[in-house]
Amino acid sequence: MVKTILKIVLATVVYTVLFIFTYALLPFSQGFKELEASGNPLALLFMLVSSACTCFTIYFIINHTNYSGIKLFIKVLCIIFFVQYFMTQIETLFFGSAFTVLTKLDIILIMLAGLFPLLGSVALLVKFFQYYWCVNNLDILTK
């Protein structure tokens, strides 16, 4: 149990660091950068909580599936990316005129920025937990 929690915490830290680096390196518009700079001082705490929820969701999916390896990696990556980043930004893209600070490129970059931390954390969590389901349910499989 402690090892599982430590692995999820490690994945959360990896996700958060990759998230920060990705947002720092992408060429967002000047208006978006200014808006981001005037943010809440508790933003890092909120980011850690969001990252922990995402990593736990990935762990939960991996723990309750029969897939393993690259097939598991691709399916989990697609599920989380399209639900968490793509679907949430489609509405923003559609109603883009309501957000005067955001350009269309900013909205697309927000979508793509979520892909890089997911690549790292999903790969890490799949490596950690891909055979967890099979090992815990071995008695069911052998009957």
Residues above pLDDT 90, as percent of the chain: 50
**Domain span holding position 55:** 2-142
Kindly report the pTM of this predicted structure. 0.82
Mean pLDDT across the chain: 86
Q: Strand, coil or helix: what is 100?
A: coil
Nearest to 55 by CA among 121, 6, 3, 99: 121
Evaluate if residue 139 carries a pLDDT over 60. no
pLDDT of residue 135: 52
pLDDT of residue 10: 95
- Tally of structural domains, the chain: 1
